[in-house]
Structure 1
Amino acid sequence: MKEIQLDSRKKIKNNAEPYIIAEIGANHNGDMELAKKMIISAKEAGADCVKFQSWTPKSLIAKEEYERNQVYNDSKKKHFGSLEEMVKKYALTNEQHKELKNFCDDNQITFASSPFSKAEARLLNDLDVPFFKIASMDINYLDFIQDVAAYQKPMIISTGMADLAEIQRAVDACLKVGNERIILLHCISIYPPKYEDIHLNNISMLQKAFGLPVGFSDHTIGVSIPLASVALGSCLIEKHFTIDKDLPGWDHEISADPLEMKTICSESKNIVNSLGSFERTVSEAELEKRKKFRRSLVVNGDLKKGHRLTEDDLTAKRPGTKIAPDEMKYVVGRTLNQDIEEDGLISWDMLN
């Protein structure tokens, strides 16, 4: 299975410590100070990367859609204005991109963003982002994927709303320009999804189907589902992030707060360390514990030297420091070479 250097600090692969992306997206609400607070908070929580979204009011949405004032989230939370007003406020300028990239560099956390047009991909490439993230909505925008992949940086592709054929075509678009550094993210593009619609086993399926590192782009509420993905070998977790779930905006409600992000970062490491291997082993600590918690053969009454032992003479009690109960058949029929009191443990040197 492939191992991919995703940034200067971390390589990723399946069934290893996952790379954690705190997806700020548009949760900065157009406020650079809020964006910087989120970056610092994500860093303190243990995230490897903060990711934004790079679009302009004209690069993503057509005039007709603005006129319909479409709502793009599944939340009932009210926002401050029309779709067009929000898109204009939440869009990052080129200078803001540079400012956030420099701020991340100064604070030693990786800056990344999802481009939604070729111009934005060029901007991010000029900023020397370590990888590109393709949003689920663009998995069938093959010309765009191919153009982004041509920069020869690792490609993270979310698979929400996509069938296997569409995922294969997106992978092929990268391979067509010689870019083999591809990471797929299992994703359900509902905010939040129903548990029965998540199908975490798709992580294992995608690993086998494509032979690529596979992670999980999470839109659930809480930490249990992304952590469960780690047990299935997820190489990367992308989780929306906010410092206040009550802020207005598209994704704050379904985002992880700082405590939840810290839990994801720390517990994912514990999960990986606990998975171990398929080989059955007994640790040194457990071997030592056998002495206290297992049983040894003891006698049921006072017995004299020369007595020939029967099953009725024997039972098993703690500690497990002498003859184990599953070795009773090698004891029955042997004679004692010394006296032994009731409830005394038998050792091999007592037997003829």
Structure 2
Amino acid sequence: MKIANRVISSKSKPFIIAELSGNHAQNFELAKQMVSAAASAGVDAIKLQTYTADSMTLNIDSDNFRIMEDDSLWHGQHLHELYQQASTPYEWHKPLFDFASELGLIAFSSPFDEAAVDFLESLNVPAYKIASFELTDIPLIQKVAKTGKPLIMSTGMASVSEIEEAVAAAKDVGAEDIVLLKCTSTYPASPENTNLMTIPDMANKFGCAVGLSDHTLGIGVAVASVALGACVIEKHFVLDRNAGGVDAAFSLEPDEFKLLVDSAGVAHQAMGDVVYGGTAAEEKSKYYRRSIFARKDIQPGERFTRENVQIVRPAIGLQPKHFNRVLSASARNALKAGDAIFDKDLSE
């Protein structure tokens, strides 16, 4: 499959997405700086989130709409207020998309309601992302799938049956290009709760390309995912964690994103193919294996012994597996100390 002109497959280097989320702090110039820094870091794409606070939740003063978990980054905040802080204004989308395109980046978004899909279609986005929390919103998935564009779906919290239902719903209305992202919907996520072994299992179960939406700190988990078949990696992005941002605590800074891009590329190159017997690049190294040499001058007819022959580097003469045969033989020819021993030198 392709997103814009970029091939997405296990044979291609991972498609790396910088998620801007709400870390722009409602500052357009900061958002542009983020896009520029993401391009410098070498990512393939930047992604926005398209919603309004009113499309996400109700502005009602009730604990039903307040984040009550003590361990949440957003403990005590009202959902409507949080989404107001984190939303990306609709009027920013086109200039940010255009700016990203000028820098050679692919730009798209996660819609959170059907009106957002219509808006993004008016901007001709090349792909769509469904967030983990919207994976059970079948009407939204089908609205996106009907566009015929590639569809990336995060699967945080989702059971097998819920993923099956989402994939089937998308395919029922014509979706062909689907990527599923393994995701752990905690913020930040811990490595021990990431369960990367789900990636190859997900590929087998659902017959889709699979990647990772990663909320852990650092890049280790994301790089490891490449070895298990992740062809897409999404991480949240921030210019400076210390400056804050709604998702800053689990977002990567530009230098870290550059390291992720480079390391994921190396990990992909290292996967290679199933190879035994050494690669062409190793051929010269075989010279430094061991073989059998005369360690002293040896006269014709003289017996080979452990005192006058030795297994040493390099691999010029008979292989070490022939050592016992050499010790049971006599010299056919005169040998000088340092001569490699060959079959022609044995009188057996």
Query: What displacement does 1:75 show?
Result: 5.1
Give the aligned residue type for 2:221: I
Contact preservation (8 Å) 1:214, 1:235: yes
Give the aligned residue type for 1:182: I
1:129-278 equivalences in 2 (<5 Å): 129-278=125-274
User: SS of the counterpart of 2:292?
Assistant: strand
Give the aligned residue type for 1:7: A
Query: What displacement does 1:247 show?
Result: 2.6
Q: Partners of 1:67 and 1:58 in 2: how far apart?
A: 17
Query: What displacement does 1:83 show?
Result: 4.7
**Cα deviation digits, residues 189-225 of structure 1 (max 9, x gap):** 0011222211000001101111110000000000100
Aligned to 1:41: 37
Give the aligned residue type for 1:243: L
Q: Partners of 2:62 and 2:110 in 1: how far apart?
A: 21
Q: Which moved more, 1:66-75 or 1:341-350?
A: 66-75
Cα 1:302–1:72 shift into 2, 3 Å: farther
Q: Which moved more, 1:244-253 or 1:115-124?
A: 244-253
Q: Which moved more, 1:323-332 or 1:95-104?
A: 323-332
Q: Partners of 2:36 and 2:28 in 1: how far apart?
A: 12
Cα 1:306–1:112 shift into 2, 3 Å: same
Q: Partners of 1:104 and 1:307 in 2: how far apart?
A: 80
Aligned to 2:3: 6
- Out of 322, 326, 338, the position equivalent to 1:331 is 326
User: SS of the counterpart of 1:233?
Assistant: coil
Give the aligned residue type for 2:37: S
User: SS of the counterpart of 2:20?
Assistant: strand
1:296 aligns with 2:276: no
Query: What displacement does 1:319 show?
Result: 1.5
User: SS of the counterpart of 1:184?
Assistant: strand
- Where structure 1 has 5 or more consecutive residues not aligned to the other structure, the ranges are none
Contact preservation (8 Å) 2:21, 2:49: yes
- Where structure 2 has 5 or more consecutive residues not aligned to the other structure, the ranges are none
Q: Which moved more, 1:330-339 or 1:298-307?
A: 330-339
Q: Partners of 1:191 and 1:91 in 2: how far apart?
A: 18
1:320 aligns with 2:315: yes
For this pair of structures, how many residues does the alignment match?
Answer: 346
Give the aligned residue type for 2:38: A
Q: Which moved more, 1:267-276 or 1:327-336?
A: 327-336
Aligned to 1:309: 304
Contact preservation (8 Å) 2:67, 2:74: no
4+ residue segments displaced more than 6 Å = none
TM-score, length-scaled by structure 2: 0.92
Q: Which moved more, 1:26-35 or 1:82-91?
A: 82-91
Q: Partners of 1:264 and 1:247 in 2: how far apart?
A: 21
**Cα deviation digits, residues 267-305 of structure 1 (max 9, x gap):** 11111111111232412332211213x112123543211
**Cα deviation digits, residues 5-26 of structure 1 (max 9, x gap):** 1222x11113541100001111
Q: Partners of 1:7 and 1:280 in 2: how far apart?
A: 37
- Out of 97, 100, 107, the position equivalent to 1:104 is 100
Aligned to 1:345: 340
User: SS of the counterpart of 1:64?
Assistant: coil
Query: What displacement does 1:65 show?
Result: 6.8
Q: Which moved more, 1:163-172 or 1:191-200?
A: 191-200
Q: Partners of 1:65 and 1:121 in 2: how far apart?
A: 29
Identity fraction in percent: 34
Contact preservation (8 Å) 1:156, 1:183: yes
Query: What displacement does 1:68 show?
Result: 5.7
User: SS of the counterpart of 1:98?
Assistant: helix
TM-score, length-scaled by structure 1: 0.91
Give the aligned residue type for 2:267: I
**Cα deviation digits, residues 303-334 of structure 1 (max 9, x gap):** 21122435665320112222221233553444
Cα 1:141–1:50 shift into 2, 3 Å: same
Give the aligned residue type for 1:299: A
Q: Partners of 1:207 and 1:162 in 2: how far apart?
A: 15
Give the aligned residue type for 1:237: I
